[in-house]
Amino acid sequence: MAANAHCVELDVLEKELNTNFKTGLTDEQVEVNREKYGVNEMAAEPATPLWVLVLKQFEDVLVIILIAAAFVSFVLAFFEEGEEATTAFVEPFVIILILVANATVGVLQESSAEAAVEALKEYDSPHAAVYRNGRLKNLDATELVVGDLVELSAGDLVPADIRMVQRMSSSFDVAQELLTGESKNVEKRVMVVEKDAQLQDKKNVLFSGTTCTRGKCSGVVVAVGNDTEKGKIGHELSKESQTDTPLKKKLDEFGYYLSIAIGVICVVVWLINIGHFSDPAFGGTWKGAMYYFKIAVSLAVAAIPEGLPAVVTTCLALGTQRMAAKNAIVTVLPAVETLGCTNVICSDKTGTLTTNQMSVQAVFVVGEGERIVHLEVEGDTYAPAKPDNSPFALSEEDGSVVQHPVCEYAGLEKAALISAMCNQSSIAYNAEHKRYEKVGQSTEAAMKVMVEKLGVPDKKRHDAMRGLSQTERSMACSHFWEERYEPVVTLEFDRDRKSMGQLVRDRDGGGDVLLVKGAWDNVLSRCSSVYVSDTQRVPLSAELKGRLVEKIEEYCSGKNSYRCLAMAFRDDLPFSSDELKEVKSERFGEYESDMCFVGVVGILDPPRKEVAAAIERCKTAGIDVIMITGDNKATAIAICRKIGIFEEEEDATGKAFTGAEFKKMSEEEKSRNVLRARCFARVEPIDKKDLVAALHKHNKVVAMTGDGVNDAPALKAADIGLAMGSGTAVAKGAAEMVLADDNFTTIVAAVEEGRNIYNNTKQFIRYLITANIGEVVAIFITAVTGLPEVLLPVQLLWVNLVTDGLPAVALGFNRGEEGIMEQAPRPHDEAIVSGFTFVRYFITGCYVGVATVGGAVWWYMYYEHGPQVPWDELFEWARCDPAHDTVSCDVFKDNTPGTIALTILVTIEMFCALNSLSEKQSMFSPYGHPFTNLYLIVAMSISFGLHFVILYVPVFAKIFSVVPIGWDEWLAVLVLSFPVILIDEVMKFVVRISENMALQKRLAARKAL
């Protein structure tokens, strides 16, 4: 059907698709059409094949070198004789096994990373306004089927290929450059087009994935999923690209330089020992050379964490899922890292700093004797009535409740008509969440709710509303007006005239009426009279206009800070509906003139209760918050005081600007003022982009919120674009993160989570690098001093598998660092390891190496049950001569000192893992003790358990050349290992003092500002 949908008449299409262009599909028809035409989902991208993931694990040069070493060892094993002939094959076999184990871990990590990233795509599925069983519902786009009747408005993403059925505005434009390459927006019409029309010429079809930019229409779904034009093109339209995150690039760069450094050390180790190649202990120069070659290569592989990139990607991807649980949907992984650097949050007021539960709190009309009638309206949600369906109260200034408002005051009846018909939004009852929700814009939804609170002039119908279900009650009064008036032409809102018009026709033959609502100053300036009743209209005199303006300013300022919209109409029309349909939007203001003023509604979107605390956290964290709003400057400043951006008595001069004031500034003035600015009022989308540019000149990392089509440039320009979950598809497409609940506190929580994710990654790296430095130092010490080798190649590889495995992964589950939101944002270009961080790693790593070698030396020289080898003989062990030395040369074949060294290395690295629970909090504090991460306790237990297996199970002890050790040896292991905790405690103390000083300095500077 999709191929010919553009060239058939609507009545034919309606019949062929088994649908109804007024009520949509029934539930039964939905199932039939879904079975016939399929679901609205694209074919999933194929996952990376398992064999590709496996091969990737062996691409690393060092791994290839290790495989070569294993092969050489295997060949040499054929030339061994006696008992060594059997054990010689053990080493290459174990190396291969460990390589396979490492590859398995890498495959699992990369698979989980892919799965986690794919899961992110499911969090933000587009929605569509669909008629089902005669009612308009907000459904996930994937639930659409061919034949569904869909409503689309400016800012919506077209969810499927749709044939236009009715254009509900004077024009309807779509941006489809992604599909057709057309740089300009395309106007869509209902008319039939030729069968062989090109894609660009199908003016009556809205294509999936394109964006509505102007107007409103209804249409029928004619193709879904892979049958859409977008589906046919496939990957070409995908904006997603698999690029390395900045953190991964930094890690790759760090790993590259680390590889060079380790490579140099390995060569030095091998060259230093050239003189020992022919020592008697090796039984030949070639065997000695190969022994040290394997030591050098094993050291390199043990020192460089090859699986780090996959682990980091997994950590980031899983972190974004944790953020999603907090209503922050990250769509691009690099955004997680950037969040931790954010030092300026530019937040829209409406819905983000406020509840976005807009409601009409007050309304006034003009009554008899030109008296201004003011009513307070009860309720601050989208509920049209109280839970028991009893009406909300409307009270006059003296507190008296008006029982039937639209019958009491004619102006309220006219206000109800305008609010109901000059409105493109609706209210729906969500049975699952048991609440009323808006479908459309918040302001219009608030006016629709007011219609329900005002009631209807038909008293019998008014009283019957108490017996309606929640679903029926949601729009009962609006339906009353829709039954009496037919929409004819819509004059869409634009920012020039700041109003919207709706031409309606009385279904009883009463003629056409142009209903208008919009910004009070613009509407009032185009009015010439004031409505009192159907039989009385009074001229808009200067005196009456002055009183109206005074009342409106009372609404707009002070404690109220209402958003005020005026209502007016025109019924003596000097133009026809056909003429109005052809008018360009630039001339809408000419037709919305000489109007009759009806009244003003005061709409309030109250600040979220939790926002003030969140802003205070931002101040402590070194993050500036700038509020952006379309409200006037006085209202904006009042809101800023309520939520804590400004103190109660703080002078806002030089800190609050309007968009017009900002535009008039020179570049130098913008650059200077933007550092102190905390509030921008009467802002247009282009101003937001200029604000980002001015902040970037000071190297600020900016997070910018937005929800409209025109917000996309600013969202793209910002370092972090934050789209509202209730916003347009265009805004979401331009953003790096979507706020599912539109809440400012979610931004702050996401920044905190971003900092925690980066911090956990640093802890993971710290743990690995400290262990690797320790292994390098241990091997280097034995190489340059001539001591017996304390760690064999297979032992190094074992340590690499055990210590870089489960404990390292478990560190990714560290809970958030205490006080992390008291730290200043980190620089965006901060190196992974630099300055004090490197010194800290190096000091701890050096101790790891010294303690490992020290354990073996203790057994040789000082252990009372040991051989107590003299110093000079120990350092010349490879030239041992039984005729002259005081100890037997067989002492140096004993595996006990190597076992002690290996056990110290494993134990000390487990202690290092405990140190990595927190970067600055003491292990003995409530915030850094071991039980803050139970995953690490389990991982350490498994690691120690595996180590006990190789020590006390004979077959494994033989493979790894170790022996069981007793209580005395274990005591020595603990004594030599524990100081690494004390060393790190000193380092943490230094960090805490340094950060506390920095915090006090930052708060003092902010207070001075």
Which residues does the annotation mark as catalytic? 348
Name which of 758, 766, 762, 756 is nearest 821 in CA terms.
756
Dihedral Cα 101, 103, 108, 110, nearest 10 deg = 160
Q: Is 764:803 a contact under the CB 8 Å cutoff?
A: no
Which 3-state string (H, E, C) describes 682-738?
A: CCCHHHHHHHHHHHHCCCCCEEEEECCHHHHHHHHHCCEEEEECCCCHHHHHHCCEE
User: DSSP string of 124-150?
Assistant: S--EEEEEETTEEEEEEGGG--TT-EE
Dihedral angle sign, alpha carbons of residues 579, 581, 582, 588: positive
Name which of 294, 305, 295 is nearest 255 in CA terms.
305
Other Cβ atoms within 10 Å of 733 Cβ, number: 20
Strand partners, 354: 607
User: Which amino acid type is present at position 694?
Assistant: A
d(CA 700, CA 695): 6
DSSP letter at 607 equals B
d(CA 93, CA 281): 23
Which runs of E-coded beta strand occur in 787-940? none
What burial letters (b/e) apply to 173-192, b meaning 16+ CB within 10 Å? Answer: bbbbebbbeeeebbebeeeb
Q: Is 664:716 a contact under the CB 8 Å cutoff?
A: no
Residue 61: which H helix or E strand, with range?
helix 61-77
Crossing angle between the packed helical segments 896-915 and 934-952, to the nearest 10 degrees? 180
Strand partners, 737: 330, 722
User: Which amino acid type is present at position 1?
Assistant: M
d(CA 140, CA 118): 18
Structure tokens at 436: 């009323």
Structure tokens at 36: 């016939």
Which runs of E-coded beta strand occur in 829-901? none
d(CA 513, CA 668): 51
Name which of 789, 984, 804 is nearest 892 in CA terms.
789
d(CA 52, CA 275): 44
- By three-state DSSP, how is residue 193 classified? coil
504 φ, ψ (degrees, to nearest 5):
-125, 155
217 φ, ψ (degrees, to nearest 5):
-155, 170
d(CA 976, CA 972): 6
Name which of 409, 455, 445, 421 is nearest 599 in CA terms.
409
Q: Is 816:756 a contact under the CB 8 Å cutoff?
A: yes
Integer-rounded Cα Rg, in Å, for the chain is 37
Residue reference for tokens 């017009």: 660
What is the bridge-based pairing of β-strands 720-724 and 737-739? parallel
DSSP letter at 819 equals T
From first CA to last CA, the distance across the chain in angstroms is: 66
Residue 673: which H helix or E strand, with range?
helix 667-673
Crossing angle between the packed helical segments 442-454 and 476-484, to the nearest 10 degrees? 90
* Burial (0-12, 13-18, 19+ Cβ within 10 Å), 876: middle
